[in-house]
Amino acid sequence: MNRRSGNDHRGARTEGRPASKGFAAEAKKHLGQHFLHERGIIDKIVQAVDPRPEDRLVEIGPGQGAITFPLLDRHGRLTVIEFDRDLIFPLTEAARAHGTLRIIHRNVLDVDFTALAGEEGPLRLVGNLPYNLSSPILFHALEHAAVIRDMTFMLQKEVVDRMAAGPGSKTYGRLSVMLQASCEVVPLFNVPPGAFSPPPKVDSAVVRLVPRPADSIGVDDPVRFAAVVRDAFGQRRKTLRNALSQQCTAAEIEAAGIRPDLRAEQLEVADFIRLANRLHD
């Protein structure tokens, strides 16, 4: 892990000064890079985050610094996680005019957010996530939800639709249930392809996730819960009786107050929690 400290950096600039436009860097297709450049969208993201002096901000994938530098202008201090070695030096140099930037050079999936939070308080995560890794990053963040206050992410719109979908929807699935069981999911606004360089082939969207207090989630065994949700949606056409045959019997499903002839997309998040807890007991 390569960390840069910003002890020699100047303090944050006042809001009245012009914001940096970042720096030029070629997007790497194999890393799924699409650099945000649309000023109106950048301003909306910073406004949605609305950083306060006491916040501990962590940005995932700063790229050319489109969100990084406006956040530094507002807050003065920021930690970023960047995997692309070629972006480390230009980020460090460009940040000098904005505030104190700490760079963690590592794959975000290898970053221990709990250790990063330490005893200094919860983290606020921000980022334009690489679309080819969005779901793994979301699940990784959930593992550290106890030290995360909220997450403001830009993702493929289709993924955000799945995250926020309700029962009966074609987009309601494993991602919907797992995230909604642990977080409040709030879609904020859509982002067109033209806001990026190079433009992706899909629309994007910004979403806020707020982890629920651990004692309000009600999942007794997270491993069993994850397995039940995974198998239930593994073959969507199957009824629960068949889809969950490796997890439980039809009688056990009925004992949880759920009809075994239903399909996974017909169940509320609370139904999955109740069934998993019943099996755990």
Annotated binding-site ranges: 34, 36, 61, 82, 128
Classify burial at 32, counting beta carbons within 10 Å of its beta carbon; exposed 0-12, middle 13-18, buried 19 or more.
middle
Q: What are the backbone angles phi and psi of residue 128, rounded to the nearest 5°?
A: -95, 95
Handedness of CA 232, 236, 240, 245 (dihedral sign): negative
CA nearest to 24, candidates 15, 35, 13? 35
Cα(108)–Cα(221) distance, rounded to whole angstroms? Answer: 26
Check residue 55 and give left, alpha or beta (phi > 0: left; psi -120 to 50: alpha): beta
According to DSSP, residue 247 is labeled: T
Annotated binding-site ranges for S-adenosyl-L-methionine: 34, 36, 61, 82, 128
Handedness of CA 152, 48, 66, 187 (dihedral sign): positive
261 Cβ contact partners less than 8 Å away, ≥ 6 residues apart: 239, 240, 241
Cα(77)–Cα(58) distance, rounded to whole angstroms? Answer: 10
The pair of structure tokens assigned to 248 is 């439980």
CB 24 within 8 A of CB 64: yes
The pair of structure tokens assigned to 146 is 């106890």
CA nearest to 58, candidates 3, 116, 12? 116
- Assign 31 to helix, strand or coil: helix
Angle made by CA atoms 264, 231, 154, in degrees to the nearest 5: 75
